[in-house]
Structure 1
Amino acid sequence: MSRIGETTLEIDLNALAHNYSYLKSMILPETKFLAVVKAFAYGSDMVAIAKKLESLGVDYFAVAYAKEGVLLRDAGIERPILVLHPQPAHLDCLIDRCLEPSLYSKNILNQFLKTAQQKKQEAYPVHIKFNTGLNRLGFGENEVDFILKELEQRSEVKIKSIFSHLAASEDPREKEFSKAQITSFEKIAERISQKLNYKTLRHIVNTSGIINYPEAQFEMVRSGIGLYGYGNDAEIDSKLKPIATLKTIISQIHHIKPNETVGYNRAYKSDRSKTTATLPLGHADGIGRQYGNGRGYVLIHGKKAPIIGNVCMDMIMVDIDGIDCKEGDEVLVFGQQNSAEVFASSANTISYEILTAISQRVKRIITGT
C-alpha cells in the first residue's frame, strides 16, 4: 500500500535552502535578497516557506496583496514585507500590520498619502514602481517630477526603494529590450536620487535577471520561481531543486473492453482491451482539463501513464497498460522526477501556472528542516 493514502503536496525545505544558497551565490555579498512568496509561496505553503527563508537570513519578502502580508505577520514573520499590488480598500490594514506598499499610480499614491496622514504616520516606508516596458503596473518616466513634487512637502512617507520589472529576462532573443529597460530604470533612479537627501534601494532583476543580467543587481534582487526550483532555463534548472512534489494514489482499476469509453462526454474511446486507473485529483485540485485526452501524464512506478478522457472535477483516469500496479499504489504527478515544468509543457503552459493552481484542499506535508 502507498505510504500517503491520499493526494498530497510535499514541500521540501532542504531543497528551498539549496535554491536560496545557489541564488545567493550569484549576487554580491552586500546585495539584498527579496523573496517573492505571493500566491501561497507559488502554491506551496507561504508560512512554512517564509519562516525557513527568514531563518536563512533573507532581507525582504514580497506578496501580491495586503491580505497575504497579514497572513505572514499573524504567523510571526518580522522581516519587511513589500505589497506589490495594494488596493485602496486595504491601505488601513496594510499600515496596521507594518506592510510596505508599492505605489504604482497617481491614484494609489494619493490614496496612500491620505491614509498615512489620517493615521498620523511619519516617514512610512513606500516603494515606487516604474513601468519600463512590461506595461502592467507602474509610473512612467515622465511622472518622476509629479512624484517628487507630491512627496517633497510630505513627511508621512519615505521612499524605501525604486523598482521596475523586466518583461523578458529569460529570453536571450530579447536581450536588447531588457538592456533598454535597465538603462531606462537607471536614468529614472538617477533623477530621483539627485532630488532626495537620502539613499534608496533599487531593484529590477527577477530570477532570470539575477542569472542573465548580474550587472543590474543594484542594491537588491528579487526571486520567486527560482526559490521553488525553476530557472526558466534547462541549465539553471539542473542546478536547482524543485521543492514541491505532488503525489496521489490509485483509487480504482478498470478493465476496459474494445470500443468502451471513459469519462465525461465519452471523450476517450478504447480501440482495444485496456486497463485504466482512476486517481483522486482533478481540476478542482489544479489539474486543468487541458491535461486530459493524452496530453499530460503521471508516473506510476517510474512508468508514464497518460491521462485519458476529460479531466473531472475530482478525478482523472490514466492508461496503465503495461504497468504492474494495484489500487492504493503511489502516483507521482510532478516533483524532482517529472518536474512541474515538464508536466506543464505537455499542456503548452508553464511551471508557474501548475504550481500556483494546486488547490488548498490538497494536503501539504512539510519535509526537511
Structure 2
Amino acid sequence: MGHSKITGALDLFRLLAALLVVAVHTSPLYTMDETADFVLTRIIGRFAVPFFIMVTGYFLYTAIAKRDNAYIKGFVLKIGTIYLISIILFLPINFYSGYFGEKFLWGDLIKDILFDGTFYHLWYLPAMILGVFLVTVGIQRFGFTISFLVAILLYGIGLLGDSYYGIVQQTDILTSFYDMIFTLFEYTRNGLFFIPIYLLLGMAISKSNNRLSTKQIVTGLVISSVLLLIEGLLLNSLSWQRHDSMYILLVPCMYFLFLFSLQLPGKNSKTLRDLSLIIYLIHPWMIVLVRGFAKVIDQEQLFIYNNFIHYLIVSFLSLFAGWILTKFSPKGRKRKIDLLPDNRAWVEIDLAALRHNAKELQRILPSHCQLMPVVKANAYGHGDVAIARELMRAGLKMFAVATLAEGVRLRQNGIKGDILILGYTNPKELASLEKYQLIQTVVDFPYALMLNQYPKKVRVHIKIDTGMHRLGVNVENLAEIEKVFECKNLKVEGMFSHLSTADSLADEDVRFTQKQIQQFNQMIDLLKAKGYHTGKLHIQGSYGILNYPDLVCDYARPGIALYGVLSADDKIRASVHLKPVLSLKARIALIKEIQPGEVISYGRQFTAKSNMKIATVTIGYADGIPRRLYENNAYVMLHSKRAPIIGRICMDQLMIDVSHIHEVENNDVVTIIGVDGTEQIRCEDIARQSGTITNEILSGLGPRLDYVYLD
C-alpha cells in the first residue's frame, strides 16, 4: 500500500539507532568511565528502540485509520517471518550457551517465543506484533484518544516493573502483583506495556500537522533530554532499576526527537532501512565472532576488554555484513527504481497494490474463472508494458487490448500469453495478427467474411451484441453466428459480450443486465446443442465482476477496478478491498506574494480578496488535468495540507493558494492524485469535480509525464 509520508532524515536516524543498539550490547565507554557508559548505553541508548517503534507507528497509522487490514496483516506477517528467520539464525548460539540444557523447560521456550524473544535482542519482534495488534484493535474499536490513554496507563504499569521497581519493593501488594507479571514476562519492556505508547506517539505525529517551529522542537528536545539524564542518574543512584529501558521523560524526548528528524533534509532510502534492520538482527553474531577470533589469536585484552575498540569492530563488521546482504541479495538486485527527483511531473505506480487488486478480484470469482486484465489505453494511464509484465509475473496468462498497435507493442516488449484485440483491425493488417500471435475479435458477420479471406488461420473470439449495440453479432441472429463458425479460416477460440449497465444497481438496470446475461447463456446453450465448440466464454468487465461475481464463465475482464478505482462513487455488491495503484505528482516552480485585487491566470477568473501567497505547479491540461477542475473547489496536497487550485488551469501549469502552508519551498512535491500523510485525493474525486468518470481522467494522462514504478 502506498502510504506516503514526509520522511526527512528518518532513515538516517534509524541507522544511528541501530548503532546505538550495538553500543547498548558492547558498552563502549565502560573501560574509560562507568558513569559515562551508563549515560550512553542506559539513557541515550534507550532512544533507539522507541525510535524504531515510532517510525512504524508513523507509517502504519494511515492503514489503521482507513481499516486497511490487509496491509496490516501483511506487515505483521513480514515481522513474523523475520522473527522466524532470526530464531533459526541464533539457534547455534542458544545451543552453545546452554539454553537447551538440563534446566530447559518447554513452557519457558513458549514464553520466550511469544513475549521475551529467544535471544536477548529478539524481544522486539514479538513485542511489535503484539503491540500492533493491540493498537489496531484499540483505534478501530475505541478511537485514538481512548487508545492513547490506555497506552499511558500500560506504560505506567511497565515503569514500575522497570526503572521504578524500587517503589514496588516497598509494598507487599505491588510485589505480589509484579511477581505474577514476571511469571508471564521476563520484563515489562514488551508488547503490552512498552510498545503501544511509542506506536501511538508516532501515529499522533502522523495524524496531525506539526505546528511547532524548529526552534520550539529543538528547545523541547534539549529540555526533555536534560531532565531524562537527571531522571536516569537519580534512579541509578537510588538502585531502583530492575531494568533500565523505560523512563518517564523518555516519552517527551522521543516526541521531540522524532519531530526533529522530520525537520532535517533527507531522502527515503530503502538501503538505509534494510541496513538498520540487518545490523539490529545480526550484531550479536558479530560479537560472538569477534570474541572467538580474539581468543584464537590471544588478543582478548585488545579486542574484548577494550570496550571501545570492541564496539568499533563489531559495528564495522555489522555494517559490512549488512552492506553485503543489501547489495548482493536477490531482492536487492531484482529491480532498481529511479525516483526521478528532478522531473516536473510524474506518475507513481504501486505494483504491490496492483498485485493485491488482482488477488482480490480473483478471490471473489469462481475458482475456474481466470482474470483477463484489460491493458488498453496504456493500461488506463498506468503504463501498459510495465503493468502487463507485472501481472504476467503474478501468473496471469491472457490480456485484452483495444487495438492492433497495442497488442503489437506488448509483444515487442516481451509480453507472453494470449492477447485479445477487443476492437476493429483493418483487414489489410491481418499479417500482423499472425506475426505477433494475436487474437482478433469478430465485430460482426460481414467482418468475419473479410477475415476469412486471409489465406491462413486467424484466431478469433466472437463478440455477441446482447443489447449495448456497439460491436458484435446480434444475439438473436443465431444463423449468422453459426455462419461465423463455418468460416474455414477462422479458428474460434472464444465468445464474449459486454454488460452495458452492470455498474448500476437500479432495478431497471439490473433487469437489463440480467436479460443480457440470460440471452448470452441461452445462445451459448443453443450452439453447444448443435455441436459447436464455443471456446472460452467471458462477459464480465470490472462492474460485472463486482456486481455479478458468480457468473459461470472462463474469463473475466477487469479494467478500471484492477487499478483500484471505480468509474464513479458507485455502490457495489461484492465485499472487496481495492487499493489505488496510481498517484500523480508535480513540483512547485515558484512562489509569489500577491495583493488584494490582483487576478490569477487566464480570463481573470480569480481575484485575490486579501494578501495571498500562491505557488505555480508544473502540471497542466496537456498532462491530463481537466481544464475546468478549478471551477469546483478542487485542491491538491502539499506538506499533508490542502492547497486550493485557483484560476484557470493552463496547458503546462496550474496555480494554488499556499498562504496557510508556511513551510512551502520551490521544488516541493505536490500530490494531485494519491496519499499525502493522512489525507488522500482519489481519482474519483477529480472525476466528480470535473464532471466526468475516472476512466477518462486516467486514460487522458499526457505523454509528457514520467513513470515511476514502486514495489
Q: Give the Å deviation of 1:150.
A: 4.3
- Superposed, 1:226-245 pairs within 5 Å as 226-232=561-567, 233=570, 239-245=577-583
TM-score, normalising length from structure 1?
0.93
Within the alignment, does 1:140 sit opposite 2:474 as a pair? yes
Counterpart amino acid of residue 164 in structure 1: S
- Aligned partner of 1:91 in structure 2 is 430
Q: Which residue of 2 aligns with 1:204?
A: 539
Cα pair distance change 1:237/1:12, threshold 3 Å = farther
Who is 2:630 aligned against? 292
Match of 2:699 among 350, 353, 356: 356
Q: Summarize the Cα distance change of 1:160–1:295 in structure 2 as closer, same or farther, 3 Å threshold.
A: farther
* Larger relative contact order (Cα-Cα within 8 Å, sequence gap ≥ 6): 1
Say yes or no: does 1:259 pair with 2:259.
Answer: no
For residue 447 of structure 2, give the secondary structure of its aligned residue in structure 1.
helix
Residue matched to 2:441: 102
1:277 aligns with 2:612: no
1:170 is matched with which residue: 495, 499, 503? Answer: 503
Give the structure 2 partner of residue 114 of structure 1: 453
1:193 partnered with 2:496 = no
What displacement does 1:255 show? 1.2
Q: Which residue of 1 aligns with 2:26?
A: none
Q: Which of 514, 533, 551 is the equivalent residue of 1:216? A: 551
Q: Pick one of 650, 655, 672 that aligns with 1:333.
A: 672
- Are the counterparts in 1 of residues 503 and 547 from structure 2 also a CA contact under 8 Å? yes
Q: CA deviation at 1:137?
A: 1.3
Residue 157 of structure 1 aligns to which amino acid in structure 2? L
Q: Which residue number in structure 1 is paired with residue 489 of structure 2?
A: 156
d(CA) in 2 for partners of 1:142 and 1:180?
Answer: 12
Where 1:314 maps in the other structure, the secondary structure is coil
Q: 1:217 to 1:311 in 2, by over 3 A?
A: farther
Q: Residues 252-293 of structure 1: CA distance to partner in whole angstroms, max 9, x if unpaired? A: 111111111111122212222212110111011001212124
Whole-angstrom CA distance in 1 between matches of 2:429 and 2:615: 47
Moved more, 56-65 or 228-237: 228-237
Q: 1:238 to 1:253 in 2, by over 3 A?
A: farther
For residues 365 and 150 of structure 1, what CA distance do their matches in structure 2 show? 45
Which consecutive aligned stretches of 4+ in structure 1 deviate over 6 angstroms post-superposition? Answer: 234-238
Judging changes above 3 Å, is the alpha-carbon distance between structure 1 residues 142 and 199 closer, same or farther for their aligned structure 2 residues? closer
**Would you say the 8 A contact 1:297–1:343 is kept in 2?**
no
Paired letter, 1:300 = L
User: Which residue identity is paired with 1:114?
Assistant: Q
- How far the C-alpha of 1:91 sits from its partner, in A, is 2.5
> Offset at 1:358?
0.9
CA shift, 1:251, in A, is: 0.6
User: Structure 1 CA distance, aligned partners of 2:553 and 2:383?
Assistant: 29
Output the amino acid matched with 1:359. G
Q: Distance in 1 between matches of 2:387 and 2:640?
A: 29
Structure 1 residue 234, shift from structure 2 partner: 6.2
Greater mean alpha carbon deviation, residues 78-87 or residues 141-150: 141-150
In the TM superposition, residue 144 of structure 1 has moved relative to its aligned partner by 2.4
Structure 1 counterpart of 2:665, which letter? K
Query: Could you tell me how far apart the structure 1 residues matched to 2:647 and 2:576 are?
Result: 33
**Residue 2 and residue 69 in structure 1: after superposition, are their counterparts in 2 closer, same or farther (change >3 A)?**
farther
Other-structure match for 2:518: 183
Write the distance in 1 (CA, Å) between the matches of 2:693 and 2:440.
28
Q: Per-residue deviation at 1:163?
A: 0.6
Alpha-carbon spacing, 1:238–1:130, altered in 2? closer, same or farther (3 Å): closer
Are 2:77 and 1:77 equivalent residues in the alignment? Answer: no
Q: Please, which moves more after superposition, 227-236 or 126-135?
A: 227-236
Over residues 77-123 of structure 1, what are the superposed CA-to-partner deviations in whole Å (9 max), with x where a residue is unaligned? 111000000221432212221110111123321221112x2xx22xx
Distance 1:149 1:69 in 2: 27
Q: Which shifted more, 213-222 or 44-53?
A: 213-222
What is the aligned partner in structure 2 of residue 250 from structure 1? 588
Residues 1:319 and 2:657 aligned together: yes
Question: Structure 2 CA distance, aligned partners of 1:278 and 1:135?
Answer: 46
CA 1:291/1:228 → structure 2, altered by over 3 Å: closer, same or farther?
A: same
Give the whole-Å Cα distance in 2 for the aligned partners of 1:215 and 1:293: 42
- The equivalent residue for 1:56 is 394
Asked if 1:68 corresponds to 2:378, the answer is no
Matched residue, 1:30 = 368
> Larger strand proportion, structure 1 or 2?
1
How far did residue 197 of structure 1 move? 4.2
Query: What's the offset of the Cα at 1:226?
Result: 1.3
- Residues 24-52 of structure 1: per-residue CA shift (max 9 Å, x gap): 10112211211100011110111111011
Give the Cα–Cα distance (whole angstroms) in 2 for the partners of residues 274 and 366 of structure 1.
36
Distance 1:237 1:68, change over 3 A: farther
Counting aligned pairs with the same residue, the percent is 34
**Residue type of the partner of 1:43?**
G
In structure 2, the CA distance between the partners of 1:141 and 1:305, relative to structure 1 (3 Å rule), is same
Residue-by-residue CA offset, 1:192-236 (whole Å, 9 max, x unaligned): 223344341111111221121123242211101111012454677
> Distance in 2 between the 1:207 and 1:253 partners?
42
Secondary structure of 1:216's partner? coil
Contact 1:231 1:240 in 2 (8 A): no
8 Å contact from structure 1 (residues 280, 316) kept in 2: yes
Amino acid at match of 2:477: E
> Which string of whole-angstrom CA distances, capped at 9 and with x for unpartnered residues, describes residues 46-91 of structure 1?
1111011111111310000000000000011111000000221432
**Structure 2 residue 701 is the aligned partner of structure 1 residue 366:** no
* Structure 1: tracts of 5 or more residues without a match: none
Q: CA deviation at 1:237?
A: 9.7
Amino acid at match of 1:136: R
- Displacement of 1:151 in angstroms is 3.3
Distance 2:579 2:266 in 1: 24
- Specify the structure having the higher radius of gyration (Cα): 2
Whole-angstrom distance in 2 between the partners of 1:258 and 1:48: 48
Q: CA deviation at 1:13?
A: 0.8
Q: 1:47 and 1:2, CA in 2 relative to 1: closer, same or farther beyond 3 A?
A: farther
**Is structure 2 residue 467 aligned with structure 1 residue 129?**
no
| Distance of 2:609 and 2:504 partners within structure 1 | 43
Does the 8 Å CA contact 2:624/2:697 hold for their aligned counterparts?
Answer: yes
Deviating more after overlay: 94-103 vs 1-10: 1-10
**Greater alpha carbon shift after TM alignment, 274-283 vs 289-298:** 289-298
Range moving further from structure 2, 225-234 or 274-283: 225-234
The answer as to whether partners of 1:276 and 1:320 remain within 8 angstroms in 2 is: yes
Contact 2:599 2:607 in 1 (8 A): yes
Cα RMSD (Å) of the superposition?
A: 1.9
Q: Distance in 1 between matches of 2:446 and 2:633?
A: 45
Gapped regions of structure 2 (runs ≥ 5): 1-264, 268-340
CA drift of 1:126 comes to 0.7
Residues 87 and 108, structure 1, Cα contact 8 Å, conserved in 2: no
The amino acid across from 2:682 in the alignment is S
The amino acid of 1:67's aligned partner reads: A
SS at match of 1:277: strand
